Amino acid sequence: MTVETRYQERYEAGDTPWDIGQPDGNLIQTVTTTPVAPGKAVDLGCGTGDNALWLAQHHFQVVGIDASERAIAQATAKAVHAQVRCTFLVGDILTSPVEGAPFRFAFDRGCFHSFETAADRTRLAEKVQGLLGPAGLWLSLIGNADEPRQAPGPPQRTACEIVTAVESSFEILSLVASHFGSNRPHPPRAWACLMRKRRAE
């Protein structure tokens, strides 16, 4: 089963514990304290759009892409209700064209860690590199393998797996242990990885 099929089925079943109904605090902190200047942004695996809407409300021009038609329909409805302008696309993150490139900022919350193989994670990094303009930034929130697991949770990746996948395409500016925004009493641990697109040789 592909990543796209798996997530489509989970949205259809309503099995979406990552959909917390609000933007992730890691995104808010990074954008407001780094800071990340407003501009064109892409939200990879945008789900029902809470992070994309937050970016749009803070003067970014946002394109969100997700494999789930149900998630994109919900994101579109949220944007209409909030009177926020976003573009939402149904597509395969690795292979579908994404309108609006080049972007200044890319964000994903759980997209990177969803890919099981090192080759696919490297393909994702290369795809994001191609979507970004010079010195473009990518913030990826990734399940942290340093957390012992007693209950189901997001896929977990090691710091080494992250670096191996991205280092040929991106310079890592920060890789810090954090927690996902969550409705659970004990939020899952995450890596917050902020990267800058490498200059072309």
**pLDDT, one tens digit for every residue, the chain (201 residues):** 566 666 666 767 666 666 788 999 999 999 999 999 999 999 999 999 999 999 999 999 999 999 999 999 999 999 999 999 999 999 999 999 999 999 999 999 999 999 999 999 999 999 999 999 999 999 999 999 998 877 778 999 999 999 999 999 999 999 999 999 988 788 999 999 999 999 875
How would you classify the pairing of strands 132-143 and 189-197?
A: antiparallel
Domains of the chain: 1-9+42-143 (3.40.50.150)
Placement of tokens 């969550």 in the chain: 182
d(CA 177, CA 146) in angstroms, rounded, equals 9
**Model pTM above 0.75:** yes
d(CA 1, CA 109) in angstroms, rounded, equals 21
Cβ count near 27 (within 10 Å)? 21
Tell me the HSE value of 51 on the side-chain side, using a 13 A CA sphere: 34
d(CA 193, CA 176) in angstroms, rounded, equals 7
Cβ atoms 90, 69 nearer than 8 A: yes
Q: CA 172, 173, 178: angle at the middle one, nearest 5?
A: 95
Q: CA 98, 25, 130: angle at the middle one, nearest 5?
A: 25
| Token pair for 123 | 């393909």
**Residue length of the chain:** 201
Q: Which DSSP string do the residues of 111-174 spell out, in sequence order? A: SGGG--SHHHHHHHHHHHHHHEEEEEEEEEEEEBTTS--SS--S--B-HHHHHHHHTTTEEEEE
Torsional sign, CA 86, 90, 93, 96? negative
